[in-house]
Amino acid sequence: MSASLAVIKYGGHAMDQPDLASAFARDLALLHKENVRSVLVHGGGPQINSLLSRLGLVSHFVNGLRVTDEQTMEAVEMVLAGSVNKAVVASLAAHGVSACGLSGRDAGLLRADIKDPALGRVGTINNVDPSVLTCLLDQGFVPVVAPIAQGPDLKALNVNADTAAGALAGALKAEYFVLISDVPGVLSKEGKLLPSLDRQAIATLIKTGVITGGMIPKVEACLFALTQGAGKALILDGRSPSSLARFLKDGEPLGTLVLP
């Protein structure tokens, strides 16, 4: 296939279960040989919860967003930009993928404003400078990005990983934006997979309560990426081995395709 770029939100069981993580890394190595360049944005909610518990800090969520005070922000950055980021890089390296870990604070990659003072240090992205990603991609590296942004006070802000990935996909004009999820895709009220959705259908499904919780930022990230210039946006089941390669390389109709 011709050279193309995929921005991938990587998380859930695909990242946490060793067999699925290995399969994902092998897929990425295979795709790299097929001229598909990749940028990964990872989450780390369970790992953050674990550290906060050990520190005696209690998490509170409002509309799916973690209320992030100064102490919690320190822990979030330690986990996302530290242990989780480096574990993903190491997993990829074990399968021959040259990966480089960084956070959104590096080289002005992601800048953000405070989303809501009541949420603390939770950010909403206002600017993306993908120059550092372009440099790494041109040198054959796979950038692995922790979703931490630089705030107006030059301190860290916690940003939703789906949202960060969508912003990067749009800024890079990626041919593919893929959200790896722990569900087959967007499901109907009856629990059946919806193979494709457009903006109007998404608005209706949110209004009627079919799309709820963590799926809302996923579909919104897809729509934003497409609006900013990404080619295709897909919500894909990461629990299915090699689903990424089957979609990108073989064109299998998997997951839910979000249409412009």
In this predicted structure, what is the pLDDT of residue 243? 85
In this predicted structure, what is the pLDDT of residue 172? 97
Cross-strand partners of 196: 257
In this predicted structure, what is the pLDDT of residue 17? 86
Radius of gyration from C-alpha coordinates of the chain? 17
- Between CA 64 and CA 191 the distance in angstroms is 22
In this predicted structure, what is the pLDDT of residue 214? 83
Give the global pTM. 0.93
* Helix segments in the chain, DSSP class H: 13-16, 18-33, 45-55, 70-77, 85-93, 131-138, 161-171, 199-207, 215-228, 243-248
- 166, 158, 21: which is closest to 99 by C-alpha? 21
Residue tagged 């360049």 (tokens)? 37
In this predicted structure, what is the pLDDT of residue 1? 47
User: Phi and psi dihedrals of 71, rounded to 5?
Assistant: -65, -45
In this predicted structure, what is the pLDDT of residue 246? 85
Q: Answer left, alpha or beta for residue 184, where phi above 0 means left and psi between -120 and 50 means alpha.
A: alpha
- Between CA 149 and CA 202 the distance in angstroms is 28
Q: How many helices (H) and strands (E) does the chain have?
A: 10, 14
Q: What structural domains and CATH numbers belong to the chain?
A: 4-182 (3.40.1160.10)
Helix (H/G/I), strand (E/B), else coil: 90: helix
The secondary structure element, H or E, covering residue 40 is strand 36-42
In this predicted structure, what is the pLDDT of residue 2? 55
- Between CA 9 and CA 162 the distance in angstroms is 6
- Between CA 44 and CA 172 the distance in angstroms is 23
In this predicted structure, what is the pLDDT of residue 114? 96
- Between CA 117 and CA 140 the distance in angstroms is 40
Q: What is the mean pLDDT of each run of 10 residues along the chain (260 residues)?
A: 84 84 89 91 92 92 86 96 95 93 97 95 97 96 98 96 96 95 90 93 94 89 95 91 82 86
